């Protein structure tokens, strides 16, 4: 990853291309570019599958903490 970041930083320009999987870019490219907005990505995928995602993009903040707590408590 460090070499990838150094190469990108040293470049004069960058052209990014990706196959399209369910209306969005590949998981490998998402991982390479870093954080992506999960809710927006899911909406893109769902719209391309002709689903109707909720317009307000609800999410559950700090849900990870509940999961971790349950794993610790058993």
How far is Cα 17 from Cα 61, in angstroms, rounded to an integer? 32
For residue 35, give the DSSP letter: -
Residues 1-11: pLDDT tens digits? 789 889 989 99
For residues 18 and 34, give the distance between their C-alpha atoms in angstroms, rounded to a whole number: 15
Q: What is the mean pLDDT of residues 52-73?
A: 77
What are 10-59's pLDDT values in tens digits?
Answer: 999 988 888 888 777 888 887 787 756 777 878 888 888 888 888 777 77
Does the structure show a pLDDT above 80 at 67?
A: no
């Amino acid at each position: 990853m460090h070499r990838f970041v150094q190469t990108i930083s040293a470049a004069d320009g960058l052209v990014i291309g990706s196959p399209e999987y369910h209306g969005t870019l590949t998981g490998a490219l998402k991982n390479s570019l870093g954080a992506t907005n999960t809710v927006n990505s899911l909406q893109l995928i769902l719209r391309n599958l002709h689903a109707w995602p909720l317009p307000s993009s609800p999410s559950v903040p700090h849900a990870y903490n509940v999961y971790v707590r349950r794993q610790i408590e058993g």
